[in-house]
Structure 1
Amino acid sequence: MKILGITILMLILLVAFSLGMDILLGFDLDNSIKHAFNPFLVKDVTELVLFLFLLVMLLFSFIYRKKKKGNKAKGQQ
């Protein structure tokens, strides 16, 4: 769970940094947001499906690892 929290925190900080740099370069907020999410706008459908599949697998691995650790702790008692 800590890894997921750190990943989300890093994502938020890096997106904020990217938006700040775009604003300092003279872009308005709307264009800055478009630049930040541009890699997701130019992907093909198959690339998006693969990205979502990998994201779902990552989330399930976090859930499975947490559940597996919980079962080991109960088995040792």
Structure 2
Amino acid sequence: MMKIIGVSILIFVILTVFSIGVNSLLGLDFEKSITRTFDPFKVEDTIEFAIFWILLLFFFATPLKNSIQNRKRGNKNNKKQS
């Protein structure tokens, strides 16, 4: 368990440093780089924000749909057995 947490923190730190580095290479000062890294919704365009919510919807809709279908199949199997 501790390895998973350690690796997760390490990946977070590496990606954060990489993001700040890319923003610095784009010509932003350090403070602006930090702001863009830790608050990405401030710099998103409208279409990026819409795509984010659509992907989030698909992420949660598919398991929800599958669980509803499995529940319906379970009820049909219970009725056939009775």
Q: TM-score, normalised by structure 1?
A: 0.50
Greater relative contact order, per chain length (Cα 8 Å cut-off, separation 6+): 1
Largest Rg, 1 or 2:
2
